[in-house]
Amino acid sequence: MTSARARLDAATADLDPPLAVLDLGALDANAADLTRRAGGRPVRVASKSVRSRAVLRRVLARPGFAGVLAYTLAEALWLAGGDDPVCEDVVVGYPSVDRTALRRLLADPALAARVTLMVDSPDHLDAVDAVALPGTRPPVRVCLDLDASLRAAGGRVHVGVRRSPVHDPVGAAALARAVCDRRGFTLVGLMAYEAQVAGVPDAPPGRPLRGLAVRGVQALSVRELAGRRAAAVAAVSAVAPLEFVNGGGTGSLERTAADAAVTELAAGSGLYQPTLFDGYRAFRGRPALLFALPVTRRPAPRTVTVAGGGWIASGPPGADRLPRPVHPPRLRLLGTEGAGEVQTPLRGPDADGLRVGERVWFRHAKAGEVCEHVDVLHTLDGDALTGALPTYRGEGRAF
């Protein structure tokens, strides 16, 4: 066995898979590298890529991290509420029309002071007012979502994710005025997430031509966004002072930190280092989160089957969204079956050395989605397990 596999197998010998292990040494090393790459800018932790309150607390206790970027309002209220909140500065990364969560926010002045809503349209202000009118509720903190995608050829070419309809400084200023003219709202921030840089590897393994093309498009996008974001920040700041301007992600920290208009960065995936982030030239994270599945069959020479395995990442369907067997290393998924709901066949030279009941260790393509499948992350410190940290699922939460 490889030393990595032997270490994982020995530490978890008394546990039954499926199970997930979080290597605390790798987690801490990745966190330190994120703050190094941020160049002194505070890093807001993207909770969708972590999905464990205990892990969020550990990361936020480190110098260089400040605040959470949540993915739903319900999650934000859970993280910011109670007598011992995980964080008292939570920005919801996406607009919310969850009336139940909005009622909770508007009924609690303490939560309203800790949580910032994302908007990209007056429609989102209407959704708040439909729940509770000004005068009956505390002021609502608001962040504007500026679309950071690269557009060309009169809009016929779109590079990036489709988020906000607000793309230029004029539109940003108009939305800022709409917020400030509406009673009961306070404009505090602006966010622009450059997904085409932060989430697209610029050196994908085995695909040098794609890497060259990606780097060219990303360089163009970074230059275009720097000018447009600075102009948008200036235009919005002329309407109301901003507490923060958020940008970036794990794959773009250095580039976004160089943008003078940005006051804070966001990152989360780099803490766990899933496989989609292996293909960047600027950094090499340490895989911190792995999961194990048991061998249940040996259907043919050089072939084994593990139980379950359909832990497929969100996004465009493709081989890069599938979990990757890493221990033992010489195994691969079958193209005709992939990762299955109830079983996953694996083929390769190392299959013949596996017995029924032994385990295969995998890495997930994305970060926090592993936590949708397990209740706890078993923590590994050195060669020994030290405990188990609940995931959102383990605490009975699904957002």
Per domain, the residue ranges of the chain are 25-269, 285-394
pLDDT value of position 152: 80
* Radius of gyration of the chain, Cα coordinates, nearest whole angstrom: 22
The one-character DSSP state at 312 is P
Question: HEC string of 285-298?
Answer: CCCCEEEEEEEEEE
Q: Which CATH number fits domain 285-394: 1.10.287.610, 3.30.565.10, 2.170.270.10, 2.40.37.20?
A: 2.40.37.20
Low-confidence ranges of the chain (pLDDT < 50): none
Relative to beta strand 244-247, strand 264-267 is: parallel
Contact 140, 115 (CB under 8 A): no
Relative to beta strand 157-159, strand 115-119 is: unpaired
Dump pLDDT digits (tens) for 250-272: 999 999 999 999 999 999 999 99
Query: How many C-beta neighbours within 10 Å does residue 85 have?
Result: 18
pLDDT value of position 51: 98
Question: HEC string of 335-366?
Answer: CCCCCCCCEEEEECHHHHHCCCCCEEEEECCC
CA distance 229 to 55: 32
Helices assigned H by DSSP within the chain? 3-11, 24-38, 53-60, 73-80, 99-106, 109-114, 122-131, 169-181, 195-198, 208-237, 253-257, 269-272
CA distance 301 to 296: 14
Query: How many C-beta neighbours within 10 Å does residue 275 have?
Result: 21
Contact 143, 119 (CB under 8 A): yes
Does domain 25-269 fall under CATH 3.40.50.261? My reply is no
pTM for the model stands at 0.94
Whose tokens are 């383990």? That residue is 394
